[in-house]
Chain A
Amino acid sequence: MVFTVIGTVDGEASPPIGTFDTFMAPAADYFAMVQNAGFEDVRQSDVTGAFMATAVRWLEAAAELDNDLRSVLGDAVMDEKLASRRDTFAALEAGEICRLLISATA
């Protein structure tokens, strides 16, 4: 199993941020969760740098393609998508969230 997860940095759950509509859990919880579920050889790496780069590219591309995107998504969907991506980016810039890559074997 290999997955990525976004979580809070400070060890506390947070109110909904951006794309995520539920409380965001602390990133540190996931390693233990996978171990406690019985997986072996659990490994974790921080991929927050790549997360930030992707977030920036997405917002820049969305700005350039705004008119075309709105023509297919409509204003409501596009506005919601932009707001969620901007909220996520703001939390990322503030150092409140990080992204982890976790792998394990069953």
Chain B
Amino acid sequence: MTDFAAHEELIARFDAYYESAGSVPLRALEQRAFGCDYGGNSYTDIEGARVLLDLLGLDESCTLLDVGTGAGWPGLFLAKESGCQAILTDVAAAGLQFARARAIDEGIRAEAVNAIGTDIPFRVSSFDAVTHSDVLC
């Protein structure tokens, strides 16, 4: 399989999962596994996200980039808790749609950008803080 085909297959697999991101069963699973239901698909739980919040030193004047956010975790939580502006990026559009809808519903300052982590479409020094959970391998 070519690299492009493999990449497209990976995106399709993520989309298939994230299309159900807001469903009752998935939110129940996340609550039990992570202690919250922001569409988490990594291994960061709520306590881990609080550690990120402390280390990143965010406040309402900051702009945060969350790479590989999936359906908005932990970027939505970090934005909600700190008041910062979050830019949520991922290769899978389905999760981003959920994240953006939730941000609007809850008044969270977050925008979603469909992008791969190796080619983020922003100028250098656009962000005060960057985070990613279990994206590199």
Contact = CB atoms under 8 A, between A and B. Distances in A.
A-B complex is real: yes
Interface of A: 1-7, 19-25, 30, 47, 50-51, 53-55, 57-58, 60-62, 64-65, 68-69, 71-74, 76-77, 80-81, 99, 101, 103
Given A5-B134, A77-B17, A61 B26 contact: no
A73 B134 contact: no
B94 to A, nearest CB: 12
A20 B6 CA distance: 13
Interface residues of B, number: 34
A72 B25 CA distance: 8
17 contacts: A1-B131, A2-B55, A2-B56, A2-B129, A3-B132, A7-B137, A21-B10, A25-B137, A30-B136, A54-B43, A55-B43, A57-B34, A64-B32, A65-B32, A69-B29, A73-B20, A77-B16
A71 B25 contact: yes
Nearest to B53: A2
B5 to A, nearest CB: 13
Nearest to A14: B137
Q: Which 5 A-B pairs have the closest CB atoms?
A: A61-B32, A68-B25, A58-B33, A72-B23, A72-B20
A67 to B, nearest CB: 9
Determine which residue in A2, A30, A77, A81 has the highest number of CB atoms from chain B within 10 A of its CB, and name it.
A2
A84 to B, nearest CB: 10
